[in-house]
Structure 1
Amino acid sequence: MAEPLRIALAGLGTVGAGVVRLLDANGDLIARRAGRPIEVVAVSARDRTKDRGIDISRFDWVDDPAELAGHAGADVVVELVGGSDGPALSLARKTLQGGKGLVTANKAMIAHHGLELAGAAEAAGVALKFEAAVAGGIPVIKGLREGAAANVLTQVYGILNGTCNFVLSKMEAEGRDFAEVLAEAQRLGYAEADPSFDIDGIDAAHKLSILASIAFGAEPAFDDIAITGIRHVLGADIAEAAALGYRVRLVGVAEAGGDGLFQRVHPHLVPLDHPLAHVSGSLNAVVAEGNFVGRLLFQGRGAGDGPTASAVVADLIDIARGEYGPPYAMPAAALSALPPAPTGDRRGRAYLRFTVADKVGVLAEIAAAMRDAGVSIESLMQRGANPDGSVLVAIVTHEGPERSVAAALERLRGSQSLAGEPMWMPILGD
């Protein structure tokens, strides 16, 4: 058998320790599939004395993770430090410039610096692999980059954040409001102490940016993504959606067309007959539409030590086999710089929720704003009074341009009849 592929591992948190455990448990099988053993030779982490449930005494210890890039015994560096900049980016740059391959699970770094890093990897003739950066153990990057490589992909979208999906599923199943369920998710370890990156949609947007680049051959454009999280979704919204035959899910959507690249992360109403409506708990799912292959659905566990470590080691197996090409499926210089697509002409149906004062004339004011903006109302529901005397009004629109809905909401801005900010959610197409 060939010489081992030797790994320097930066970060021994949940995923890093999972990588070591996976290589220990399945080492013989991995060696047969890779054609050579894969061995960790050096590690770096914040605390050398921490008990991680693995034996690290057999590895070289390096205090500064950036020094792993120059470790003489390593062929590939695995970066599991995290963060878009700082030590992770410094390590990534030094690794590629030094002629070593890089495997990372760092979606923030790839979303913000992936184009630069891809160019550096190609110039050095080494691998840059990041399957674990999107959807944990689901092989969606490999599926788009390799399995669907012959197709023109017209759309890629999905549920990309397990924390948000857990919270929304729990609200749906138990009829509870957001803040209460989020607190439980934090107690159970499904949400961070500061959950902002998850619940405000940033994490999902990082992943969407990566998927869009691979799917459409476009330069990463994270800053062009319109991002709205789930912080303002009410239990009443979820109950209303259920009564209408929908479920609420945080969905990232990307499409490329003649007017540019459209990217959005936003809560959606998903029809019950759509596959994404049945993705519950902390699962992730990605749908891609190809002109020859049709609809592809990737679904599975999107986070955790096992799934993410599995994706990291799958990348290492590819490198051990010598199977790697341009990180974005085509050379970085061939990626298109697509402008952000305008949203006003996008057509679809929408759900609108207003919390309003329970008084005469409020419905007429809302209906007039819709009429004057050219929004056609399919259905309008008013629910009973809340303890503060306000009531919930929910509207489903007929298909129309998004600019009309935006105009209607702008007409109602500052109205004394509204007790809070309206909620707008697009309805996902079939």
Structure 2
Amino acid sequence: MMNRYPTVAEVTESARQLVSRFPGAGRLRRIGTSRAGRPVLMLSVGHGPRHILVVARPHPDEPVGAATALALAERVARGDRLSAATDPAIVTWDIILCLDPDGAALSHGIEEATAGPGHTLDTYYRTAYRPVAAEQPEWAPIESQQLPESQALFRVIDELRPFLQCSLHGVEAGGSWVQVTRDLPELAVPFQASATELGIPVQHGTFDALYWENPSPGVYVLPPPDSTDRLAAGSENIGLSTWCAPQRYGGVTAIIEVPMWATDLADDLSPHPEAAHVLRELAGLVRERGRQVTAVLDKARAFLPPAQDSPPRRVLEWMADGLYDLVADSWEPLARQAAAASHPDDPHRLTTAQVCALDIVARRQPLRAAGLLLRLLKTTDDAAAPGLHRDLDELFTAWCTDFETALRLRWVPVHHQAEHQARTVVAAAETALTALQ
């Protein structure tokens, strides 16, 4: 039974073994090369005329997709014909094993850090790396950046014209949800059934999609590119992302999120009794903790590696340059809305789940920055570094404990995360395939 996330090397080796074990069923090929020269590999299983494209590890700090990708490949290679979507004679599954291998290398150790027993947010954030938006392959095109990883994905989409693209994401804490570029009505029931069976809460309300159409619990439909119904922190050019590329050929994309740590607050639909007050407290929390991390960064800038040579340093500078305020400011309309709600049934009242989603974001932003800065401070030999590391480490440890306690977090076993994500992918595939017939 899988008890930790596989590394990129382990996923690659497993893919090679699968091709050997099932002669003729699978093909492994290089579809591109990363900025640092690492291969971007795609495993294709099946020979059907229709294509499903699965993108694993688009974010390096979200390793669950690698485990899910292997489970899906194994299922199709075995000739699982429990549904048309997994019949290798009908559908070819094209699985990008890791879209951001450079980022995954900078998250080295994350797999062991989250292997039980004893895994905590503390060990996770000390190893996790998440690039700036312009260096995230799915997101970079909307930031006017042409990364080779993004271009490789676009080429595959143009070559295969998938009727479905599934992007495999994870979230540190909360519940599970799906974002789709077009509603897939038949997805709702199997998605919720899987989450219930595996003890994973469905996320009702999420920072990523607060203002999006929400046709069923945990399912959110991406607004049209020209819509203003998105967070201030969102992009006005979402149509340029790799998520929207399959629309050129009538395809749909599903972004499937599963939590590492779950909180039952994520699916609590009761009205929050003090939403406006709590939102303003959370805005203050993200600003203040961001300020504390930035204060340490200010003292360390002179001896840290320059931003042009250090991806972690670029993240720290990006976050210090107004990101905390951008996040906090985007919640003010919600706080005003909640304050104006006059009675318990007022539709403007925010639920406990919605407030929980923002609580998670407020706590994780400074932790991401602090974890990266601790790593940089540990690798420098400047005389000031140990003292700064000690001071920041004290804050970091307290914030992790506060996060776990405030949201009553519990670990979701890796095999449950991957199983739920795989089931959701298959359900999305069945729904999208049926719509074509």
TM-score normalized by the length of structure 2: 0.30
Which has more helix, going by share of residues? 2
Structure number with the bigger relative contact order (C-alpha 8 A, sep ≥ 6) is 2
Richer in strand (by share): 1
Greater CA radius of gyration, 1 or 2? Answer: 1
Output the TM-score relative to the length of structure 1. Answer: 0.30
